[in-house]
Amino acid sequence: MSRMRTSTAFGVDIGGSGIKGAVVDLEKGDLATERVKYLTPNPSTPKAVAEVVARLVKEAGWTGELGATFPAVIKNGVAKTAANVDKRWIGTDVDKVFSDITHCAVTVLNDADAAGIAEARFGAAKGVDGVVILLTFGTGIGSALLLDGQLVPNTELGHLELDGYDAEKKASSAAKTTRACRTNSGPRGCSDTFGTSRACSPPTCSWSAAGSASTRTSGCHCSRSPPR
């Protein structure tokens, strides 16, 4: 059965350090209410995270559709990996876990994939043909790959190997903070990570977004190059 299209939905972003929620205007692609954030539980088990999601929904008084973004490869609502969250998420039906506890109609996507879709619909990638890459920098590094406006899901370029490690271990915002504390300088891995992704598929348009950005395009840098 298809769902009736509504003009708003409740959005939840699950990250390695924070879980955020707000009502979203689906026509404009903007937040319709102030964003509320709680720290991600430690350990971030399915039960513990679901309880935070339920708290956000209850406090908002929300009963409609809910979209959740999650730091994992997601296939048919099931987590196939677990980046920066408890490994017990692997194999978990995230759609069902959140639907059961919130009593809402829930759709779960990979977090960076959701950002890519939003940019294609409302932001910097709207109307852009060719290959587009978006990288998100937070606790880890997420990626979205678009081809002629269509998502190629679950690319997870932040987990490319860089000097023997996951790229996000050297180049995420969390890595930058840690390294700055130790050496008073940021990581050099960001350019290496982005260079590797460009080598795989030189993009028509590419940009990065810091995890702390309060709107869909804040903190973004877009560099365009001609298609090859």
Name the fold adopted by 8-112: Nucleotidyltransferase; domain 5 (3.30.420)
Query: What's the token pair of residue 213?
Result: 């950005």
Strand partners, 162: 165
pLDDT, tens digit, 9 for 90 and up, residues 162-213? 777 776 666 655 555 655 555 554 445 555 555 555 555 555 665 555 553 3
Q: What is the pLDDT of residue 138?
A: 82
Query: Smallest Cα–Cα separation from 73: which of 33, 110, 48?
Result: 110
Query: Smallest Cα–Cα separation from 138: which of 205, 67, 210?
Result: 210
Contact, 67 vs 109, CB < 8 A?
A: yes
Contact, 95 vs 53, CB < 8 A?
A: no
Q: What is the pLDDT of residue 215?
A: 34
Task: Say yes or no: domain 124-224 is CATH 2.20.25.90.
Answer: no
Q: What is the pLDDT of residue 133?
A: 93
Q: What is the pLDDT of residue 162?
A: 74
> Taking the domains of the chain in order of start, what are their residue ranges?
8-112, 124-224
Peptide bond into 41 cis (omega under 30): no
pLDDT, tens digit, 9 for 90 and up, residues 128-174? 999 999 998 887 889 999 999 999 999 998 888 777 777 666 665 55
C-alpha count within 13 angstroms, C-beta hemisphere, residue 197: 30
Contact, 41 vs 87, CB < 8 A?
A: no
pLDDT, tens digit, 9 for 90 and up, residues 41-95? 999 999 999 999 999 999 999 999 999 999 999 999 999 999 899 999 999 999 9
Please determine, for residue 109, whether its predicted confidence score (pLDDT) is greater than 50.
yes
Mean pLDDT confidence for 205-224: 44
Asked if 8-112 and 124-224 have one fold, the answer is: yes
Strand partners, 25: 8, 30
Residue 164 vs residue 219, higher pLDDT: 164
Peptide bond into 227 cis (omega under 30): no
